A and B are shown apart, each in its own frame.
Chain A
Amino acid sequence: EDQVTQSPEALRLQEGESSSLNCSYTVSGLRGLFWYRQDPGKGPEFLFTLYSAGEEKEKERLKATLTKKESFLHITAPKPEDSATYLCAVQALRQYGNKLVFGAGTILRVKS
């Protein structure tokens, strides 16, 4: 069974304090790993897709990396507006319809 575990569950940072969120996964053949941001009461907003180990993608203060067992979302010099829940999801090669399996998320709070 495909599984995604995110850590930590919650993270409090001071503005400017860089850190990383972890996403560990178990999947029989990875088609893709996805990072989303979700604000309270809203739908997830797409951030990145990673397909193979060693791949990296960046967007503003965020950088996502991928290994064969886990992915990291690095946040450099975060700002209060980066506060949100960050969700990681995997898509397996064998899955019908390319469905996503989500982790429980990491709640990030950035204080000014």
Chain B
Amino acid sequence: GAVVSQHPSRVICKSGTSVKIECRSLDFQATTMFWYRQFPKQSLMLMATSNEGSKATYEQGVEKDKFLINHASLTLSTLTVTSAHPEDSSFYICSARDRGRSSYNEQFFGPGTRLTVL
């Protein structure tokens, strides 16, 4: 149980294009999903918190117009990196909170998406 998937696992794009990453909770409903980015040999940095049916809450320093987040259903959140540039190259990971579990505070992570912007 508590499986989270991400698609795609890897994406290479040209500078200036937009890339959409999907995060799905496969066997549970997630009212809240989180988006992180991770640079090589560094820890996870929270970018934004996504609540189903409402606007995402972005962390300080994260451009909401550049990183568009949509959480349209209880099992799907998307992150769109708009007008991507090489400095956006990173490992993007989503997590989800299972509202049906008694241990409500745990987050379950997806496998990550490696974005490379040329």
Listed in ascending order, the chain A residues whose CB lies under 8 Å from chain B are: 31-32, 34, 36, 41-46, 49, 87, 91, 96-105
Beyond A32-B105, A102-B43, 8 additional contacts (C-beta under 8 Å) are A43-B6, A44-B95, A46-B108, A97-B32, A97-B57, A98-B97, A98-B105, A102-B45
- What is the CA–CA distance of A34 and B97 in the complex, to the nearest angstrom? 14
Interface size for chain B: under 10, 10 to 19, 20 to 34, or 35 or more residues? 20 to 34
Instruction: Name which residue of chain B comes closest to A4, CB basis.
Output: B43
- What is the CA–CA distance of A90 and B12 in the complex, to the nearest angstrom? 33
In the complex, what residues of A have CB within 8 A of residue B103's CB? 49
In the complex, what residues of B have CB within 8 A of residue A96's CB? 49, 57
- What is the CA–CA distance of A96 and B49 in the complex, to the nearest angstrom? 9
* B window 50-91: CB within 8 A of A: 51, 57, 91
